[in-house]
Amino acid sequence: MKRKKRRIAVLAVCCVLAAVLCAAAALFGRLGLTLVSIDCDETNGIYVIDYKEDYKLQQLLDEGGVKTQDELAKYLIRILLKGLPVNIDYDVPSLACSTFVAETPDGGRLFGRNLDNQETDLAVVKTAPKDGYRSVSVVNLSFLGYSRDHTPKKLKNRVVAMGAPYFPLDGVNEKGLAVGVLQLQAEATDQNTEKVDVDTTLAIRVLLDKAADVEEAVALLRQYDMHASAGGCYHFQIADAAGRSVVVEYIGNEMTVVEPQNGFLAATNFYLSDVPFDYEPQGMDRYDGMKDTLTEHGCVLTPEEAMALLQKVALTGTAPDAQGRSYSTQWSSVYDLTDPALTLCPDRNREAICRFSPTE
C-alpha cells in the first residue's frame, strides 16, 4: 500500500510539473522553455541560461532603442513577458574591473577580464539568434534584482531572468569578437543626436550579436547614441580573433578609439585617452600590474598564465565605502578568441574553473 501511495505521489508531482511546463510554453513559447531550463551549478553558484528563442533585439533597435534601464524594463515586459504585471527593478551598481589582451605561444588570441563588484551570483548566458552570431556572455545577477537571498533557483523567481541577454558585462561570439566594459568615475555619457539609442549593456549585446571583428564593432558603435547605464561613465575594451584590440571611450560625449602601443593594450578605471585628470582615476595599480607582466612576457601568455595574471590583479575586498559596500573580484574570464570559448573562474576560486563555448 505504501508503495502504491508513493507511486501516486510521484505521478502527481510529474503531472504538476508537466502542467507548469505546458503553461509556460503556451504563454511564452520557446521562451518558456528557457525559463524552466535555467540551471545552477551548486558548487560555484553559476547559473546557466541557454536562451532558446528570439529576445527581439532587432525589434528593439527598430523601435528606436532605449536610453535607460526603465525604458528597457518596459520593453521587456511588453514584448518578452507578454505584458505580465511584473516588477522589474534593474540595478547597475559601480564596477571596478580589469581587461587585457595577449597572444598565446602558438599564435592564438586571448582576452582577459576581471569583474570587480559587490558580492553576487552570476549567470552565463548562451544565445543563438537567428539573425546574429551565437555568443556566451556573463551577467551579474544583482543587475536583474537578484541577491543571495532571492535567486532564480526557484521557478517562481525566474521570470525577470528572461531579460538576461540585455545585461552582459563581458562575452565572446562565435566569430571570436570579445568585449568587456569598465567603469570610469567621470561625467555620464549621454549622446543625443538622431541615432538609435543604446545604453551600456545593450551596446554589448549589439556587438556580440552583430560584429565579427573590431572594425565592425567600432563602426556599429558609431551608428548609435550612447547613454551610460545608471548615470555612470564607461569604456569598452574590444578584441577579435585576428589579434586587433581597441578601447572605446566617450569624452565630452564624443567617441574616441584607443589603439595598442607596442602590442600592449589593457584597461582599468581611468581614461587611456590623453585627457586632463579632472575626475577620480582608479585602478592604476592594477593597470601597472598587467603592464609589467605583459611587457615582461612580450604580451605572450598561455591561457593558464592569463588566468594567473587576472588573479594577480584581482581585488580581495576593498575598504567599505560611505554606504558600507566592499568590492572584490566576482569573476575572472579568459576568452579564447581563436577557438571561441570562455574559461570562467568565480569568486577567485580556481578549483571551480569551468568552460563554456558559444557553439556547444
Strand, helix or coil for residue 240: coil
pLDDT category of residue 318 using cuts at 50, 70 and 90: low
Q: How far apart are CA 44 and CA 8, in angstroms?
A: 35
How confident is the model over 215-226, as a mean pLDDT?
Answer: 98
pLDDT category of residue 14 using cuts at 50, 70 and 90: very low
pTM: 0.89
How far is CA 284 from each of CA 71, 138, 327, rounded to the nearest angstrom? 35, 25, 16
Contact 102, 294 (CB under 8 A): yes
Please, what is the Cα angle at 40 between 183 and 169, to 5 degrees? 15
pLDDT category of residue 227 using cuts at 50, 70 and 90: very high
pLDDT category of residue 22 using cuts at 50, 70 and 90: very low
Percent of the chain residues past pLDDT 70, beyond the cut:
84
Contact 313, 114 (CB under 8 A): yes
* 205: Cβ contacts below 8 Å, ≥ 6 apart: 57, 137, 165, 166, 168
User: What is the structure's pLDDT at 225?
Assistant: 98
How confident is the model over 205-231, as a mean pLDDT?
Answer: 96
Q: How far apart are CA 140 and CA 174, in angstroms?
A: 22
Tens digit of pLDDT for each residue in 32-83? 778 777 888 767 779 999 998 889 999 999 999 999 888 998 898 888 877 7
How far is CA 99 from each of CA 43, 203, 250, 270, 287, rounded to the nearest angstrom? 26, 18, 18, 12, 9
User: What is the structure's pLDDT at 159?
Assistant: 84
User: How many other C-beta atoms are found inside a 10 Å radius of the C-beta of residue 52?
Assistant: 18
Contact 53, 30 (CB under 8 A): yes
